């Protein structure tokens, strides 16, 4: 299903007037010779890395700085790296925009509207990812769907209904290597949340849409499912639960047919003690590195957790961090932290799209 074209705003208005709207991977890339590497400015430091276990030193070097790259957002979310543009894309949910940042041009509006294309006010996109062809795929709060951005600026709906009922407000999403898309559907984009009269599905679910477009409910028993990611071998699926009463990350075994073995659902990490201690934020967006470590936003910042659930430390900006994403070759972790976009260099490599 095609929809009204969105307005894509590349790095300069002049380029827009000359070239029109283009999709992320279609803009020509200027290649520099190795003798002329681009020079980045020095960005201000923010926050600190809280080290709870010496093992964290193998993942984040002692003395590593959290850099503040840009600011002025209402609630930044869903960062995804686009290597052909050498830039990071991320949502500002209340502003109904996708922003782009690279050090040469700072922040620019890449897409507006991003997730609410209807006449009524509503929230924009939240989680972002890239498909196997490098196309931008968005969890759209206002339109209550998963959609793909096309070259002409229009959106193609990937999933909008389950059994003819509209989703609540798809939040975060991840592709399996076979092309199936997994996503979460809490009520945060609905006015009134769970009590919204617009809520058509009585539960908040975890879903899969396969390459044929068939939507399957995987789990409808979580209170507020949010961030979602696979382990490197894709045998485990992690889902963050942003429930202030029971903030957790749960894990499932993934069956050969791509569904989840609900009998194996387990609490991978309980963030309640961190929440009770006053940490800002809840389990929200999460990513995984090549060693299987989980990098999850949670109370206090980005929690670095081993595959066996051991909390090694926290990347703290001093503000709640909604999401994170690997980029810049895979070793840099970008952080969407409330009104800030930040990053930190790591000693590991991420699993995910865009690099």
Does 36 map to a domain?
Answer: no
Structurally, how many domains does the chain consist of? 1
Q: State the average pLDDT for the chain.
A: 91
Does 2 map to a domain?
Answer: no
In the predicted structure, residue 2 carries a pLDDT above the cut 50: no
- For 25, the token pair is 């991977």
Taking only the tens place, the pLDDT of each residue in 76-127 is 999 999 998 999 999 999 999 999 999 888 999 999 999 999 988 889 999 9
In this prediction, residue 317 carries a pLDDT of 98
Structural domain range at position 178: 7-25+44-351
Taking only the tens place, the pLDDT of each residue in 161-210 is 999 999 999 999 999 999 999 999 999 999 999 999 999 999 999 999 99
Taking only the tens place, the pLDDT of each residue in 209-241 is 999 999 999 999 999 999 999 999 999 999 999
Radius of gyration of the chain (CA): 19
Does 142 map to a domain?
Answer: yes
Where residue 293 falls among pLDDT bands split at 50, 70, 90? very high
Where residue 23 falls among pLDDT bands split at 50, 70, 90? very low
Where residue 296 falls among pLDDT bands split at 50, 70, 90? very high
Does 39 map to a domain?
Answer: no
Q: What is the CATH number of the domain that holds 99?
A: 2.120.10.30
Does 258 map to a domain?
Answer: yes
Taking only the tens place, the pLDDT of each residue in 298-308 is 999 999 999 99
Does 33 map to a domain?
Answer: no
In this prediction, residue 104 carries a pLDDT of 87
Does 34 map to a domain?
Answer: no
**Secondary structure (DSSP) of 216-227:** EEEE---SSEEE
DSSP annotation of 64: P
Where residue 38 falls among pLDDT bands split at 50, 70, 90? low
In the predicted structure, residue 24 carries a pLDDT above the cut 70: no
Q: How far apart are CA 317 and CA 281, in angstroms?
A: 11
In this prediction, residue 39 carries a pLDDT of 81
Q: How far apart are CA 9 and CA 77, in angstroms?
A: 18
Strands (E), 83-214: 87-92, 97-102, 106-112, 125-130, 136-140, 145-149, 155-159, 161-162, 165-166, 173-175, 181-185, 205-209
Q: Are 79 and 88 in contact (CB under 8 A)?
A: yes
Does 107 map to a domain?
Answer: yes
In this prediction, residue 340 carries a pLDDT of 98
């Amino acid at each position: 299903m095609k929809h009204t074209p969105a307005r894509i705003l590349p790095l300069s208005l002049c380029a827009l007037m000359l070239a029109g709207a283009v999709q992320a991977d279609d803009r020509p890339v200027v290649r520099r010779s190795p003798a002329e590497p681009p020079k980045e400015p020095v960005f201000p430091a923010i926050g600190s890395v809280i080290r709870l276990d010496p093992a964290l030193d193998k993942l984040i070097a002692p003395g590593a700085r959290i850099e503040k790259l840009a600011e002025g957002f209402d609630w930044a979310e869903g960062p995804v790296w686009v290597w052909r543009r050498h830039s990071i894309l991320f949502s500002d949910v209340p502003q109904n925009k996708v922003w782009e940042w690279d050090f040469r041009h700072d922040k620019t509006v890449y897409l507006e509207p991003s997730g609410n294309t209807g006449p009524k006010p509503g929230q924009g996109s939240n989680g972002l990812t890239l498909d196997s062809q490098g196309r931008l795929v968005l969890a759209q709060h206002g339109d209550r769907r998963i959609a793909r951005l096309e070259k002409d600026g229009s959106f193609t709906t990937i999933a909008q209904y389950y059994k003819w009922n509209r989703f609540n407000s798809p939040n975060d999403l991840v592709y399996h290597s076979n092309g199936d898309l997994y996503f979460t559907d809490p009520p945060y984009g609905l006015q009134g949340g769970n009590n919204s009269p617009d809520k058509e599905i009585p539960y908040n679910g975890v879903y899969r849409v396969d390459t044929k477009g068939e939507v399957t409910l995987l789990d409808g028993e979580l209170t507020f499912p949010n961030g979602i990611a696979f382990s490197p071998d894709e045998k485990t699926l992690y889902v963050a639960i942003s429930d202030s009463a029971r903030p957790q990350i749960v894990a499932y075994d993934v069956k050969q047919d791509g569904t989840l073995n609900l009998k194996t659902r387990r609490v991978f990490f309980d963030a309640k003690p961190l929440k009770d201690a006053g940490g800002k934020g809840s389990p929200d967006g999460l990513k995984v590195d090549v060693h299987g470590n989980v990098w999850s936003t949670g109370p206090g910042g980005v929690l670095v957790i081993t595959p066996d659930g051991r909390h090694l430390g926290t990347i703290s900006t001093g503000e709640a961090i909604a999401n994170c994403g690997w980029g810049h070759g895979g070793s840099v972790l970008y952080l969407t932290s409330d009104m800030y976009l930040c990053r930190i260099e790591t000693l590991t490599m991420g699993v995910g799209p865009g690099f």
